[in-house]
Structure 1
Amino acid sequence: MPSYEEVFRRSTEDPEGFWLDAARGIDWDVAPTRALDPARAPFYRWFPDGELNVCHNALDRHVDAGRGAQDALVYDSPVTGSRRTYSYAELRDRVAAFAGVLVGLGVGRGDRVVVYMPMVPEAVVAMLACARIGAVHSVVFGGFAANELAVRIDDARPKVVVSASCGIEGKRVVPYKPLLDSAVELAEHRPEACVVLQRPEYVAEPGPLDVDWEAAVREAEPAPCVSVAATDPLYILYTSGTTGKPKGVVRDCGGYAVALRWSMEAVYDVGPGEVMFTASDVGWVVGHSYIVYAPLLAGATTVLYEGKPVGTPDAGQFWRVAQEYGVKTLFTAPTAFRAIKKVDPEGELARQYDLGALTYLFLAGERLDPETYHWASELLGIPVVDHWWQTETGWPIVANPMGIEAAPVKAGSPTWPLPGWDVRVLDPAGKPVAAGEDGAIVVKLPMPPGALPTLWNDDDRFVASYLSAYDGFYLTGDGGHVDEDGYVFVMGRTDDVINVAGHRLSTGGMEEVLAAHPDVAECAVIGVADSLKGQVPRGFVVLKAGVASEPAVVEAELVQLVRDRIGAVASLKDVAVVAALPKTRSGKILRRTMRGIADGLDEPVPSTVDDATVLDALRPVLTRRPSAGEK
């Protein structure tokens, strides 16, 4: 096989030929004759004269090829004790039936459907049913508060909302139907119908707009696949934010299908009949891309897991799933493994299972600290692959491409830019920085297929948010550097770089040091305003279970560790041991909210986060007397 360097060079020197070759990996109703349309740059379009159906590529073509009996979707829910497996033929039939329900409710090509559901097979069915008839789905993370759902309803203006009576978090039942009802009342746009899946854990009282899922499916006429333009939108996925209107990231049909199908082989090394377990949620981009679309486009088996990595009934659930279904590639967030490591630091639970089929562990969603990387590598004895991408990009920007050429690992780096991604690091003036020097990580336009072509009904905001900082480049919002070997190091959001007495310091670098302490499970460093130095860093750490040391001892050790590793210039003199760090529903630490509270700013806490969690985690900041000159 060609080397990474050869593949990458071709993707940059001959992108037209490279991506037209990749496009042959999917079925087209009208095959494209060209890859890139730059006519309306910076609003680039991929495969402009092609036509296809993404649902056909995910389901029907595998059935037509004689693999209808192969497992397509495995549903595993330790929180309900449910397990079900759907073959490609069974999943196709369920999707066609629900597509018929949507058609019967007046949904057609280009209409929007909001999907507000927990991690159940029907969520996947609803997404694929929209794709089948050319409708545009917008999945909203299940359990989002009514206001967040209402904002998304108003922006997407769906004809139909698809929901469930409830979700389950641990041992807690979360009623969705009352949240949906409140959102419909709050929203200015009124959907024509709400299809509701009744779950036995909570049976909701139907309202005037409601249609029962099961009853509607029984009466529906299965719908065929509708051919759409490659440039038509497949879905809208809203980025989360604490303030302002969320941005509706648009994903096109053709470019996304081509890129995801290509990435399964090139990055994740997963092919037909192999099993991929992505422990995320369908409400996030990872769930869209690598629970639903990419594995099915590749003809693989995908695992849909309803539950958390620890707690139901223990921290061995990921290992159990890997053993039971013969998982080859496991993909989750570093947060999940830090949670497992905290409860089972010696990895005893993992050793109770046969993980012989497990070949790769992929981690993304936040920076992978070296401590977690080393722990997982030593425990599993397989490649632990850090990789970096965003909601906007749809698939990885930087990764260790297991299906092309496995590169030597450098802890803290997600490795190399993938083919199609021209990654640069620029200073504030827009000039390239030297190897090893931190700056803003950007991607030269055009971005490859699969990346967002624009924001939903907001081209101006797309340009202002992503393209205006550096002419000809997409601004990722992350900072970092590229070393002399071409390895990319992503140190965190650019607004996580703090200025301490004229020295620009990465809080990510300090977090890396704190995480290396053997007693630390997870950590966060934020910058706090200081009248003398401009900003000073403050650290918060959660300790592993069973740590015998006194918190004050650990705090002192951590302050000294940063001084030893980074130097006195870091000025990290305050580290607090806390019970928990405030997080989003997807597990990302709310550093921005922490900074806002620590600085005394009037910034609202997202309603998806328990205020008590934030306040408890920040109590050391809120209760101690500030030093001289500190706000």
Structure 2
Amino acid sequence: MSMSPVDNAAFWQQEARRLDWQQDFTSLVEEIDGGPRCRWFSGGKTNLSYNALDRHLAARGEHCAIIHRDYLGETWRLSYLELWQQVNALSSLMADWGIRPGDRVVIALPMTPVAAIAMLACARLGAVHVVVYSAITSEALEQRMAACQPVLLFHSSEIRGRDGLPSIPPSTATLRIVDIASGDFTRELAQHNGRVVPCAWVDASQTSHLLFTSGTTGAPKGIVRDTGGYAVALLASLQHLFHLQDDEVFFTTADVGWVTGHSYGIYAPLLAGITTVMCEISPVNAPGEGWWQMVEELGITRMLTIAGAIRMARQQGKPRARLSTLRSLYLAGEPLDSATHSWVTAGMGVACENHYWQTESGWPLLAGSGSGLTPVFSRSVEIVDPTSGALCAPGEAGMLVVNTTLGPGGMSTLWQDDTLHDQHYWLHRDGRWSYATYDCAVQMGNRIVIQGRIDDVINIGGKRLATAEVENALAGIEGIIEVVAARTPHHLLGEMVALFVVTHGLNKKQEAALKQQIRERLINRCGRFALPRKIHFRRSLPKTFSGKFLRRMLTA
């Protein structure tokens, strides 16, 4: 489906003109050693900080760059000029500390403008930022530090409503630890106010940042992202996928430690010269009424979040705020159920778009309305048997693959491990490379329905059933707030379905009736083999920081 980005050279040549280049690129894309890795916009030199800030100053210096909603619900604003000044001050201080191009800087900060300022200061100096969720566990932080060997760590000892902050190591001869909440840092930074630091013009292929995956399947993997391809791809997506205008106020609900926070919380809006909203996690800023009040007060025009957050919001009922400014709500990060989509479009009266992408892709791979998606411009995708690599027939579930390349902005490689990148993510089939998403999908007509991770597929006596297919079948049943399907062992069939259903206020008789309704719905929509072995009723279910269900914990 669709053509590959390599075949669509004229499109990307044109999109690259949206960016400012200090030195023009000489080739669009080049393979590295005949393998799946490639370089985009080779020969070109650019800078993310310059394109996100400096080039806007003449025309939009007074325009609001960041609206910050703090953990107490207070609102603060920074113009492009003010943001540029603060980035220059921190860049100057970091340069005095000896930060050089290629140095890794770990950023473990709450969702405040300082996190964005630190990222942009790294980009200005050509350093590589490694942003992590600020309430990451001590073990996970230690793993990431050991993997990337940073020379600087930014953190904040101020609690700001956060729980369980990680243990911070002491400074060493090779690692500087900086607490931005300390008086020492404030005084030191103040000495650099008013200083201007020239941008380090870097090769388009130079690493801009690392993002570590969660590591649920072993040691965390460091996703490497380039500079030029990433910037071009983000600007192209805002133009052709999001269709943004000059007056947008864009609210990405994800923490800056996740890929959505990087791509559409910080870089894409600032590259486009529009306003982005940074919101700290707290009870007053929780999904639902807190968000809808923000839409009304701040004039938010676009929101990007996950379906799980909207399901939580739906429990509070219809929004008690005017959403007249909200042009679109974008959902990503997990398969979208029809009940959530319908509630947004009918209950909220807002256009709802569904995006599918990964940390590795950097920006959406597929997009559409509802669960049926199509490739975002210039990508070529197929659904194959995860064991043999053979093409799946329409309607047959298999693994989604992306042919030839992820396109500009996709991962360049894994940090210090080209071999694992090539062998884990890429398949060589029919004389070409294909990127393995490890997500289960099925083709319905000319659209693709994502069903969840390949390892979220239950093998019931040889019949494969995606957990998302079960969950979607039960969506919309009255009394069910949330539902998660997981596998449970069976001595004859190997595995069967186990259901964890979140309800509220049901008595035993109502629970029994609901169980019967669930069984009948699954038999009708998925077949008798989908009959659950166990149905557990719960008040809540364990989730990750980003709101995804912890299936492994439930299965255990």
Q: TM-score range by the shorter chain?
A: over 0.9
CA distance in 2 between counterparts of 1:265 and 1:190 reads: 46
**1:336-384 alpha-carbon deviations (Å, 9 max, x no partner):** 1111112x13x1xx1x322111110100111111111111111222221
Matched, 1:46 2:25: no
Give the CA deviation at 1:20: 1.1
**Residue correspondence of structure 1 range 424-573 to structure 2 within 5 A:** 424-427=382-385, 428-468=387-427, 472-484=433-445, 486-543=446-503, 545=504, 550-573=510-533
| 2:344 and 2:351 in contact (8 A); partners too | no
SS in 1 for 2:473: helix
| 1:167 and 1:175 in contact (8 A); partners too | no
**1:485-517 alpha-carbon deviations (Å, 9 max, x no partner):** x21100000111111112111121111122231
Indicate the residue corresponding to 1:293 in structure 2: 267
- For the structure 1 residues 89 and 107, does the alpha-carbon distance in structure 2 shift closer, same or farther, using more than 3 Å as the test? same
Q: 2:485 is aligned with what amino acid? A: V
- For the structure 1 residues 369 and 556, does the alpha-carbon distance in structure 2 shift closer, same or farther, using more than 3 Å as the test? same
CA distance in 1 between counterparts of 2:548 and 2:342 reads: 21
- For the structure 1 residues 247 and 12, does the alpha-carbon distance in structure 2 shift closer, same or farther, using more than 3 Å as the test? closer
CA distance in 1 between counterparts of 2:218 and 2:308 reads: 27
Q: 1:290 is aligned with what amino acid? A: Y
Matched, 1:325 2:298: yes
CA distance in 1 between counterparts of 2:205 and 2:128 reads: 12
Indicate the residue corresponding to 2:309 in structure 1: 336
Indicate the residue corresponding to 2:94 in structure 1: 102
Indicate the residue corresponding to 1:354 in structure 2: 322
CA distance in 1 between counterparts of 2:294 and 2:288 reads: 12
- For the structure 1 residues 16 and 412, does the alpha-carbon distance in structure 2 shift closer, same or farther, using more than 3 Å as the test? closer
Indicate the residue corresponding to 1:161 in structure 2: 153
Choose 435-444 or 557-566, whichever is displaced more: 557-566
Q: 1:559 is aligned with what amino acid? A: R
SS in 1 for 2:459: strand
SS in 2 for 1:246: coil
Choose 268-277 or 358-367, whichever is displaced more: 268-277
CA distance in 2 between counterparts of 1:455 and 1:30 reads: 27
SS in 2 for 1:572: coil
CA distance in 2 between counterparts of 1:525 and 1:135 reads: 43
Indicate the residue corresponding to 1:138 in structure 2: 130
- For the structure 1 residues 312 and 115, does the alpha-carbon distance in structure 2 shift closer, same or farther, using more than 3 Å as the test? closer
Indicate the residue corresponding to 1:196 in structure 2: 179
Give the CA deviation at 1:118: 0.9
SS in 1 for 2:247: coil
Matched, 1:578 2:551: no
Indicate the residue corresponding to 1:373 in structure 2: 341
- For the structure 1 residues 354 and 231, does the alpha-carbon distance in structure 2 shift closer, same or farther, using more than 3 Å as the test? same
| 1:563 and 1:572 in contact (8 A); partners too | no
SS in 2 for 1:123: helix
Matched, 1:315 2:288: yes
- For the structure 1 residues 97 and 12, does the alpha-carbon distance in structure 2 shift closer, same or farther, using more than 3 Å as the test? closer
Q: 2:407 is aligned with what amino acid? A: P
Matched, 1:80 2:48: no
Indicate the residue corresponding to 1:603 in structure 2: none
Give the CA deviation at 1:60: 0.8
Indicate the residue corresponding to 1:416 in structure 2: 374
Give the CA deviation at 1:55: 0.5
| 1:166 and 1:174 in contact (8 A); partners too | no
**Residue correspondence of structure 1 range 27-46 to structure 2 within 5 A:** 27-40=20-33, 41-46=35-40
- For the structure 1 residues 588 and 190, does the alpha-carbon distance in structure 2 shift closer, same or farther, using more than 3 Å as the test? farther
| 1:52 and 1:230 in contact (8 A); partners too | yes
**1:70-122 alpha-carbon deviations (Å, 9 max, x no partner):** 01100012x32331101111101111111112111110111000000111110
Indicate the residue corresponding to 1:615 in structure 2: none
- For the structure 1 residues 230 and 13, does the alpha-carbon distance in structure 2 shift closer, same or farther, using more than 3 Å as the test? closer
Give the CA deviation at 1:553: 2.9
| 2:6 and 2:29 in contact (8 A); partners too | no
Q: Which has the higher contact order (CA 8 A, sep 6+)?
A: 2
CA distance in 1 between counterparts of 2:210 and 2:63 reads: 30
Q: Which runs of structure 1 show a deviation greater than 4 angstroms over 4 or more consecutive aligned residues?
A: 310-314, 468-471, 545-549
CA distance in 1 between counterparts of 2:307 and 2:331 reads: 6
Give the CA deviation at 1:579: 1.7
| 2:287 and 2:310 in contact (8 A); partners too | no
CA distance in 2 between counterparts of 1:553 and 1:518 reads: 11
Give the CA deviation at 1:243: 4.9
> Which of 138, 151, 174 is residue 163 of structure 2 equivalent to?
174
- For the structure 1 residues 461 and 382, does the alpha-carbon distance in structure 2 shift closer, same or farther, using more than 3 Å as the test? same
Give the CA deviation at 1:193: 1.2
CA distance in 1 between counterparts of 2:143 and 2:173 reads: 12
Q: 1:322 is aligned with what amino acid? A: V
SS in 2 for 1:525: strand
CA distance in 1 between counterparts of 2:177 and 2:245 reads: 37
CA distance in 1 between counterparts of 2:240 and 2:354 reads: 15
| 2:170 and 2:177 in contact (8 A); partners too | no
SS in 2 for 1:166: coil
- For the structure 1 residues 111 and 368, does the alpha-carbon distance in structure 2 shift closer, same or farther, using more than 3 Å as the test? same
Give the CA deviation at 1:313: 7.8
CA distance in 2 between counterparts of 1:285 and 1:39 reads: 25
Structure 1: gaps of 5 or more residues: 199-205, 401-408, 598-631
Give the CA deviation at 1:314: 8.4
Indicate the residue corresponding to 2:244 in structure 1: 270
Q: 1:587 is aligned with what amino acid? A: G
CA distance in 2 between counterparts of 1:442 and 1:454 reads: 17
| 2:72 and 2:284 in contact (8 A); partners too | no
Q: 2:157 is aligned with what amino acid? A: S
TM-score calculated relative to the size of structure 2: 0.94
> Which of 13, 22, 41 is residue 20 of structure 1 equivalent to?
13
Indicate the residue corresponding to 2:362 in structure 1: 394
SS in 2 for 1:489: strand
| 1:334 and 1:368 in contact (8 A); partners too | yes
Across the aligned residues of Structure 1 and Structure 2, the Cα RMSD in angstroms comes to 2.1
Count of aligned residue pairs for this structure pair: 549
CA distance in 2 between counterparts of 1:567 and 1:244 reads: 35
| 1:270 and 1:276 in contact (8 A); partners too | no
Matched, 1:385 2:371: no
CA distance in 2 between counterparts of 1:461 and 1:168 reads: 39
CA distance in 2 between counterparts of 1:313 and 1:155 reads: 33
Indicate the residue corresponding to 1:234 in structure 2: 208
Indicate the residue corresponding to 1:121 in structure 2: 113
Indicate the residue corresponding to 1:617 in structure 2: none
Indicate the residue corresponding to 1:601 in structure 2: none
